[in-house]
Structure 1
């Protein structure tokens, strides 16, 4: 019985082997909790001030350009400077922006424009930070523990995604926006204190300064690798067509279930956590491209069903299934990235990754908000799910190498494994 449980339960090897991984895991849990509190409060506050689905969806448009520009620059920056310093400074900046939301919410008549300014600022700082965070994992965790580390990080993220929105929905409904934003500010203050304890991560001796040429070099590498290209394209398509979170307040209205708003934001994370809690098998998987494709297809199918059904409880179940599919796809993507990308390009490729899993949701918010204003929330959701399913199928047919990826035989994965062994003096891993 014990051996069967250990084969299913999460692999805790990265937690035991790396102090910095433990620090980042706890720090990320705290940050995620505070961020998700604001994630619910901010669009709901825009809805209260305007009553317009388009105004809520416009938040994605405001965030798009800063995310693209600073995400690409942040990737080049992560390869050129101490990644710890980037994480620390951007975390402090995010805390200051949360304080702006808090002060605005405390005004007798809160203003609308600061909400969009903060949304753009958060996108810029997140774009700078995520490449440094993502590229750090392969430096602090042994190569054979990368899949397990991805599963543990996903669980951490989803734990915050469950607790944050669920609590935020209750706090905003019964106490207003001020307590939600105050919690966000407190969480970032604690997170900054923890980031100060991380070990410095200096760049390589021959690291180049951030430049357009360096960014272009990373883009050329990604374009030349069909497997990487497939992971980016599948995620972009899935998020663009089937990311309905921004119109959940209007879906709750359409189902005559205002009480369910917090649960809608939480349901996907519950499905993701169930996958994470049974992720012991992930360490034994070698065909991670299949996880990417089938997970994204499952996400689209479940979102389509959520838009068609009129029973709120069935809708919540479908959103949970969508979260499980997204988790499977995310585990596959993260593992492929960490297994194949050389460390000297890791920051720049992480910048491209930021675009693939962040720009899609931002554009998806605009698409969902605009379509909901035209057709209503439910049609905007189910048609997006159908489009997601079709686009994932077409991309898998156009980029078949993502389906045949095998960590045991892929040249880039073997090259990255050998480089890690040479750098750490570890014994060669069994294929």
Structure 2
């Protein structure tokens, strides 16, 4: 039974990973609080859906433009130094958000300042993310990387569950400036978690090339190319988020309480999968698990378009959320173990860009199909298209499906 539950071996055996995990968990919770604070402040300042949507653009553009450069930096500079520096920058930006909330509140004049600071925060995060993705395989043996990524995923899903609700409570009872102050404090905790790490300079520098080297490697290395195509198939063809308001209106009368449960259900499924992640992190064929989980995602999303019972719809979304967590963890395991250390930063940047752009394109596809047909058809057709694309990827990506990770018994023998 213990083998079914999340594997906490990395927390027990690696003090460095434990500090890193705790720091990231706290800063991730603070980040979710700030997301709610920014949404609230922009809406109160403008009461405009357009300007509320502009927050996503302010985050996406720096991520796409700075991300590849951040990956290149991560392959040439000590990753611990990068993470410490970006934590300090993000702490300062959170303090500036707190300051502008004190001075400007929710007046229309706050809009430009908030968007500028949000963009700067996203740019700093785009430099930190590739460096952070390369930390876990440096702190843990290969057979524990999957477990470390599962713990990291649990932390992320937990912050998504708790952070927005906590942010709303803080804003309601204490004010915007306190919410931003809590985020600043969370970055301080993240800094302490990183400061305790050993130096993480790239282990080797055998590969030349610059920013575009990561793109070339991802496009030509069969395992990495296959796993990224799996991600694109699931997100571009079967992303359901933009369809939630339509489905909520069609099936459930537009009740806002039901709409709020759509994303919550996905997060609940993700947490549940993380809690029993021992069922898949101990597997030695992560490629098979990745494509299988993506297929479950496609089936579940497509089925949402067919059911009419509210709780069955939410249950299917929970299954989709669980499948997403499984796919994210096993995909990360493949990428971390199949990529040389001196290319991990740039490859992680490519993964980050695909992981960000894929869902955006998927939401655009879903909305366009629903506009021409219906929300139900958009979901069902997306699920079917996802499965067909996954079949094609599986037929052409044998190295990904055959990739094996060492078991602990094999490592102990060695």
Q: TM-score scaled by structure 1? A: 0.80
> Which residue is 2:186 aligned to?
187
Residue range with higher mean Cα deviation, 312-321 or 326-335:
312-321
Does the C-alpha gap of structure 1 residues 291 and 187 become closer, same or farther in structure 2, counting only changes over 3 Å? same
Residue 9 (structure 1) aligned with residue 12 (structure 2)? no
Mapped partners of 2:372, 2:94: distance in 1: 32
Distance 1:171 1:306 in 2: 34
Partners of 2:5 and 2:182 in 1: how far apart?
A: 32
Cα distance, 1:376–1:88 mapped onto 2, change above 3 Å: farther
Tell me the residue number matched to 1:160. Answer: 159
Is the 8 Å Cα contact of residues 84 and 200 (structure 1) preserved in structure 2? Answer: yes
Q: Is the 8 A contact 2:203 2:341 kept in 1?
A: no
Q: CA deviation at 1:215?
A: 2.8
Report the Cα distance in structure 2 between the residues aligned to 1:343 and 1:123, rounded to whole angstroms. Answer: 25
TM-aligned CA distance change 1:34 to 1:257, over 3 Å: farther
- Once the two structures are overlaid, the 10-residue window that deviates more, 330-339 or 300-309, is 300-309
Q: Deviations over 1:94-136 (max 9, x none)?
A: 3334445445555242444444434433332222111111111
Q: How does 1:298-377 map to 2 (within 5 A)?
A: 298-306=296-304, 309=307, 311-364=309-362, 367=365
Q: Which residue of 2 aligns with 1:148?
A: 147
Decide whether aligned partners of structure 1 residues 407 and 364 sit closer, same or farther in structure 2, where only a CA change above 3 A counts: same
Between the two proteins, the alignment pairs up a number of residues equal to 407
* Residue 226 (structure 1) aligns with: 222
SS in 2 for 1:200: coil
Match of 2:200 in 1: 201
**1:130 and 1:351 in contact (8 A); partners too:** yes
Q: Does 1:92 align with 2:88?
A: yes
Kept in 2, the 8 Å contact 1:233–1:356? The answer is no
Cα distance, 1:398–1:63 mapped onto 2, change above 3 Å = farther
The TM-score with structure 2 as length reference comes to: 0.83
Q: What RMSD, in angstroms, separates the aligned Cα atoms of the two structures?
A: 3.6
1:136 aligned onto 2:132: no
Contact 2:280 2:289 in 1 (8 A): no
Say whether the 8 Å CA contact 1:87–1:129 is kept in structure 2.
yes
Distance (whole Å) between structure 1 residues aligned to residue 217 and residue 189 of structure 2: 38
In the TM superposition, residue 30 of structure 1 has moved relative to its aligned partner by 0.7
Q: Residue 405 of structure 2 is aligned with which of 384, 388, 407?
A: 407
CA shift, 1:39, in A, is 3.2
Matches within 5 A, 1:11-30: 11-30=7-26
Could you tell which deviates more after superposition, 269-278 or 128-137? 269-278
Conservation of the 8 A alpha-carbon contact between 2:142 and 2:405? no
User: Which stretch has the larger CA shift, 81-90 or 216-225?
Assistant: 216-225
CA distance in 2, matches of 1:325, 1:361: 16
Change (3 A) 1:301 1:176: farther
CA spacing shift, 1:63–1:347, aligned 2, 3 Å: same
Greater shift, 311-320 or 100-109, is seen at: 100-109
Write the deviation string for residues 243-287 of structure 1: whole angstroms up to 9, x where unpaired: 444676776677433234554333222211211211223343122
Cα distance in structure 1, aligned partners of 2:56 and 2:200 = 33
Alignment of 1:171-186 (within 5 A): 180-186=179-185
For the structure 1 residues 164 and 131, does the alpha-carbon distance in structure 2 shift closer, same or farther, using more than 3 Å as the test?
A: same
Match of 1:279 among 274, 277, 290: 277
Larger displacement relative to structure 2 (194-203 or 171-180)? 171-180
Asked whether the 8 Å contact 1:32–1:157 carries over to 2, the reply is: yes
Query: Do the aligned partners of 1:31 and 1:187 also contact (CA within 8 Å) in 2?
Result: yes
Aligned mates of 1:289, 1:318 — CA distance in 2: 24
Uncovered stretches (5+) of structure 2, i.e. residues with no partner: none
